């Protein structure tokens, strides 16, 4: 008389059982994966049939684990071009629909440097040209250090922007937390605000979608546009 004992796979091994038989099989879930029963029976491992596991009865296939994510700082470094800037309504908004604070055609760049600084610029295109030293373009810009902190095991890293240079005087010296999310294999960065921001009299949640630009380390400068003067050192 042989001893019979059932041995489900260990949950920590992250393995799954798959049948190699051409016969009918019915899946049965265990803690470690799916164990297939042939012909509706529930096979068990015993002293006399242990060798069956090395044949064409079952095979063990290891479930691939996702690669570990790189630290947030490494994923941010580089330049990103703005694709969309949308302000979503909070319950207190007069108009319960998303708006485009700088129009749908807004352009912009944000850059994160390896030594911990960021710079962001956004511009409404189509503005009339003006002479140097005159006029003012409707644009938005900020620059300053950024900080990343790990608030504990199992919690995502927190991104903070600080403002040392900004065309919004009220933001100088401010520290703001940015929500973040990556898409398309880290080629798209979605930034938001933890708290609502006043936009045209309403409290809204701004969300900005940025796309990583191509590496320009070996690029060549384009030809100057006809209406732009290329200034030399000391020239206005």
For the chain, report the end-to-end CA distance as a whole number of angstroms: 100
pLDDT at 188 over 80: yes
pLDDT in tens, 198-232: 888 889 999 999 999 998 888 888 777 666 555 55
The 3-state DSSP class for residue 166 equals: strand
Question: How high does pLDDT run on average in the chain?
Answer: 70
Q: Containing H/E element for 45? A: strand 45-46
Domains present along the chain, CATH in parentheses: 10-62 (no CATH), 72-212 (2.40.128)
Q: Give yes or no for a contact between 2 and 47, defined as CB atoms under 8 angstroms apart.
A: yes
C-alpha pair distances (Å), 83 with each of 50, 78, 213, 219: 60, 16, 11, 22
Q: What are phi and psi of 234, to 5 degrees?
A: 85, -5
pLDDT at 74 over 80: yes
Give the pLDDT score at 65.
66
Q: Give yes or no for a contact between 3 and 46, defined as CB atoms under 8 angstroms apart.
A: yes
DSSP 8-state class, residue 167? S
pLDDT at 155 over 70: no
């Amino acid at each position: 008389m042989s001893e019979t004992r059932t041995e489900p796979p260990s949950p920590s091994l992250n393995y799954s059982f798959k049948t190699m038989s051409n016969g009918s099989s019915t899946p049965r879930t265990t803690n470690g994966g799916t164990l297939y029963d042939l012909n509706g029976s529930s096979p068990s491992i015993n002293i006399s049939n242990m060798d069956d596991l090395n044949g064409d009865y079952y095979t063990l296939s290891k479930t691939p684990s996702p690669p570990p994510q790189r630290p947030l700082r490494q994923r941010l470094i580089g330049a990103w071009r703005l694709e969309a800037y949308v302000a979503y309504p909070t319950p207190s908004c007069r108009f319960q629909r998303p708006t485009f604070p700088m129009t749908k055609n807004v352009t912009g760049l944000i850059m994160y440097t390896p030594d911990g600084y960021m710079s962001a610029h956004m511009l409404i295109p189509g503005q009339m040209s003006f002479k140097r030293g005159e006029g003012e373009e409707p644009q938005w810009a900020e620059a300053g250090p950024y900080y990343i902190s790990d608030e504990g095991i199992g919690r995502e890293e927190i991104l903070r922007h600080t403002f040392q240079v900004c065309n919004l005087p009220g933001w100088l010296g401010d520290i703001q937390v940015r929500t973040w999310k990556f898409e398309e294999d880290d080629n798209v960065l979605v930034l938001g605000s933890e708290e609502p921001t006043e936009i045209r009299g309403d409290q809204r949640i701004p969300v900005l979608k940025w796309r990583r630009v191509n590496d320009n380390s070996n690029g060549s400068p384009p030809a100057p546009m006809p209406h732009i003067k290329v200034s030399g050192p000391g020239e206005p």
